[in-house]
Amino acid sequence: YVKMVHNGIEYGDIQLICESYFVMREVLGMDNAEIQATFTEWNKGDLDSYLIEITRDIFGKKDEDGKYVVDKILDTAGQKGTGKWTAISALDLGMPLTLIGEAVFARCLSAQKAQRVAASKVLKGPKTAPFAGDKKETLEALRQALFASKIVSYAQGFVLIKAASDTYEWEIDYGRVSLMWRGGCIIRSKFLNNIRDAFAKKPALENLLLDDFFMDKIHAAQAGWRKVVGLCVMRGIPLPCMSSALSYYDGYRTARLPANLLQAQRDYFGAHQYERVDKPRGDFFHTNWTGRGGSTASTTYKV
């Protein structure tokens, strides 16, 4: 199970790097040599990892004709299924594994190559001018967006492992999991040391976002994160994982979400009942919204 979640996080890491590359190419107009130099620099700091390292190498590889190999590769992603299994398990356990789910769907969308080519000829996006902002500043914002999104990906992954461990009584040591992933795994990185430290300080930590180290890093990165996501939305550049990570972060830090309306709708059309803010948790109520439904209510259940 832990290996499956590792692979799901790998899906997320890879997609986040691909989105960063897409911003460099489509927004900033960078060539492969510039992109390689950027990943080389990024690999010296917080983003130091195997996947950033091989991405750096990929952007330096040329074919026999002197042209870059990466530019000759068809943009349709394959998958073996472990990302999908991770997302399915998250749904079964009721865990919001949003980033990894989007990484799986991004591969599915990439596989619809013929449809995308046809759609690109008829579906219009926003009219944009060439980027005229500060390139260096935007690259730093992109680095922050990648790092913050990566934090969310791992936070969601460990939330899923914890849910499975609690449900199936596995008693998993989360700090040891992070150490195991350092040894020869695709997602091995400097980052995993900080995860080990977080669980060493608080073994029952509910979410990595609540650890002081990761909290400080996200607070420092969020301005750049929001800038990049906003910039790409306005320019019609898809960032499924970065944007879903930001939405998860904003949702997780929001004390009152609009699910009260959702519960009212469910109770209106299906008498599914709801809890009240002025009553103890676990007490359920039904409203006769139309005056014709009477007091009949559905049973409650949890997923």
Transcribe 243-259 into DSSP letters.
Answer: HHHHHHHHHHT-SS-TH
Compute the distance between CA of residue 271 and CA of residue 297 in angstroms, rounded to an integer. 5
**What is the model's pLDDT at position 177?**
94
Give residue 291's pLDDT: 87
What is the DSSP code string of 70-113?
A: GGGS-S-----SHHHHHHHHHHHHT---HHHHHHHHHHHHHT-H
pLDDT at 113: 97
Q: Is 18 exposed, middle or buried (0-12, 13-18, 19+ CB in 10 A)?
A: middle
- Determine the pLDDT at residue 302: 65
Residue 183 CB contacts under 8 Å (≥ 6 apart), including other chains: none
Overall residue count recorded for the chain in this entry: 303
Two structure tokens written together for 277 = 């803010």
Mean pLDDT score, 272-289: 95
For residue 123, pLDDT beyond 80: yes
Question: For residue range 230-254, what is the model confidence (pLDDT) as tens digits?
Answer: 999 999 999 999 999 999 999 999 9
Residue 185 Rama label (left phi>0; alpha psi -120 to 50; beta):
beta
Please list the active-site residues.
3, 10
Q: Which two tokens stand for residue 155?
A: 């936070």
| Mean pLDDT calculated for residue range 205-234 | 97
